[in-house]
Amino acid sequence: MSASTRIPPIAQPFVSERAKKTLDLVEEFVEKDCIPADAVFSAELGEGEKRWQTTPVVMEQLKEKAKKLGLWNMFLPKNHFTQGAGFTNLEYGLMAELLGKSKIASEATNNAAPDTGNMEVLAKYGNDAQKQQWLAPLLEGKIRSAFLMTEPDVASSDATNIELDIRREGNEYVLNGSKWWSSGAGDPRCQIYLVMGKTDPNNSDTYKQQSVVLVPAGTKGVTVQRMLHVYGYDDAPHGHGHIVFNNVRVPLSAMVLGEGRGFEIIQGRLGPGRIHHAMRTIGAAEKALEWMIARVNDEKKQTFGKPLSAHGVILEWIAKSRIEVDAARLIVLNAAIKIDQGNAKSALKEIAQAKVLVPQTVLTIIDRAVQAYGAAGVCQDTPLAYLWAGIRTLRIADGPDEVHLQQLGRRENRARKDAVIAKLKWQREESDRLLAAAGIKPKSHL
Ligand SMILES: Cc1cc2nc3c(=O)[nH]c(=O)nc-3n(C[C@H](O)[C@H](O)[C@H](O)COP(=O)(O)OP(=O)(O)OC[C@H]3O[C@@H](n4cnc5c(N)ncnc54)[C@H](O)[C@@H]3O)c2cc1C
């Protein structure tokens, strides 16, 4: 069954014929070109310092092929941007699931974070000069980029805490402070940082203190101090940098959108990106399930005289995983449809639901697959350990679960409490009235 025939019925009416054809092409490209090349990419990166200086040849080959197939920049939704491949968030979401099955497929099709979010920022908020200088080469996949918000010295899940100082001096901005978890900063092709800091730390409106400026990597005063590991993985050549800014000077033209508009930018940036992550994560779950099925049917590796699949509990793992991944997919596709029907702001609830539910669900599925492999599941011989580590970070990155849950809970409570209390009160009173009419004494103490 091809990918286009597996689209959940609930989403089918919203998917064009062109998107269905592209979806099948994406599947073939991922399964036949990218997944076999994952190991080549890792091997070409090599060992030690070389890992931060190398662009594996296989990546450029895949990019050429993807461009020829028309599998390029599918992430930019057609109702908001003209520069993309012309798909909706839903259509790209279905494609992103398939891309999530390979380490390298997203980059090979120019749909990789953080470039996707950064391109959206530049396309949406950048001026013509900024678009020409940075957006054009990003869209062509010639350079890469990083988004620098999180800081080592403050709790960054509350972005009002961000401290990096952006001071105006004459016709320049001067930046001082440090950032960490700057994903993508390790790549030798990373040429531009989008840096969030404070231009007006004393503004009484705490959401107007921040701004985003464009800082070319390698500007004097920028030091990439170290690269951080994720559960021991370096994620080279992309990586996650700890970067120090010491009197870094950029021209006033480096400001995106305007001083004090930083919050607006980060809010605009994160909505669709969360859907992309969530759908790639669904792809990772499908991959884990495939690996689990392969292991539990391995005739050579039987326990107590039968393959693992003949043990009831294992079939239950497969069944539960199928239920969970299918349910999680619907949550994400629903959020994508809601964005398509309005915008990311009108789909805040649905995006938060997907952002929280999907990584938690998929971690459980991957964990079952790891368990099915025994010790092999925790080492480098399957993709499972790496998948688990990457997806575990999604419960923290782009805002931790607790923050999304708090906002979701607050909104749900505020929106429903008055109507719910009034309705239940009316129903109780109506019950009492009916009971009294029937000559029965009410028993509830509420
Ligand atoms: C792999 C990876 C890649 C990343 N890439 C980037 C990137 O490219 N650019 C970038 O700027 N940042 C990036 N980040 C950073 C990420 O966005 C932050 O880690 C995240 O926003 C949380 O901020 P923090 O680490 O400062 O945690 P803190 O703000 O210190 O929070 C710590 C913990 O406190 C708890 N908490 C917070 N608020 C509440 C609350 N309201 N109620 C209850 N508990 C709460 C949560 O459990 C949270 O995990 C990345 C992180 C990872 C792991």
Residue-wise pLDDT for 294-303, tens only, equals: 999 999 999 9
Of 182, 238, 396, 406, the one to substitute when testing ligand 1's pocket (max ligand atoms within 8 A of C-beta) is 396
pLDDT, residue 267, reads: 83
Tell me which residue has its CA closest to atom 44 in ligand 1.
Answer: 402
Tell me which residue has its CA closest to atom 48 in ligand 1.
Answer: 400
Architecture of domain 3-112: Orthogonal Bundle (1.10)
Please identify, by atom number, the ligand 1 atom nearest to the C-alpha of residue 230: 1
pLDDT digits (tens, 9 = 90+) for 93-123: 999 999 999 999 999 999 999 999 999 999 9
pLDDT, residue 445, reads: 66
pLDDT digits (tens, 9 = 90+) for 376-428: 999 999 999 999 999 999 999 989 999 999 999 999 999 999 999 999 999 99
Query: Which of 130-144, 154-168, 262-276 has the weakest average pLDDT?
Result: 262-276
CA distance 177 to 174: 10
* Alpha-helical regions (H) of 29-149: 35-45, 57-69, 89-99, 105-108, 115-125, 128-130, 136-139
Round the CA-based radius of gyration of the chain to a whole number and report it. Answer: 25
DSSP tag of 308: G
Collapse the DSSP code of 307 into the 3-class scheme (helix H, G, I; strand E, B; otherwise coil) and give the result.
coil
CA separation (Å) from 343 to 79, 193, 351?
Answer: 9, 26, 11
pLDDT digits (tens, 9 = 90+) for 146-155: 999 999 999 9
* Residue pointed to by tokens 């459980």: 364
pLDDT, residue 83, reads: 85
Beta-carbon contacts of 366 under 8 Å, excluding residues fewer than 6 positions away, are 284, 285, 288, 384, 387, 388, 391
Q: What percent of the chain has pLDDT over 70?
A: 100
- Can you name the CATH fold of 264-399? Butyryl-CoA Dehydrogenase, subunit A; domain 3 (1.20.140)
pLDDT, residue 269, reads: 77
Architecture of domain 144-256: Beta Barrel (2.40)
Query: Which of 251-260, 342-351, 381-390 has the weakest average pLDDT?
Result: 342-351
User: Rounded mean pLDDT of 9-26?
Assistant: 98
pLDDT digits (tens, 9 = 90+) for 58-81: 999 999 999 999 999 999 988 778
Of 144, 150, 235, the one to substitute when testing ligand 1's pocket (max ligand atoms within 8 A of C-beta) is 150
Please identify, by atom number, the ligand 1 atom nearest to the C-alpha of residue 150: 11
pLDDT, residue 446, reads: 67
- Does 264-399 match 144-256 at the fold level? no
Please identify, by atom number, the ligand 1 atom nearest to the C-alpha of residue 149: 11
Contact residues of ligand 1, CB 6 A cut-off: 114, 147-150, 155-157, 181-183, 230, 240, 393, 396-400, 402-403, 406
Q: How far is the CA of 240 from the centre of ligand 1 (A)?
A: 14
Tell me which residue has its CA closest to atom 28 in ligand 1.
Answer: 155
User: Rounded mean pLDDT of 126-130?
Assistant: 97
Tell me the helix, strand and coil percentages in the chain, rounded to 5.
55, 15, 30
- Long-range contacts, stretch 400-407, CB < 8 angstroms, 24+ apart: 400/157, 401/356, 401/360, 402/157, 403/157, 403/158, 404/352, 404/355, 404/356, 405/352, 405/356, 407/348, 407/352
User: Rounded mean pLDDT of 254-264?
Assistant: 97
pLDDT, residue 414, reads: 97
Omega of the bond leading into 237 within 30 degrees of 0 (cis): yes
**Any idea where the domains of the chain sit in the sequence?**
3-112, 144-256, 264-399
pLDDT, residue 36, reads: 98
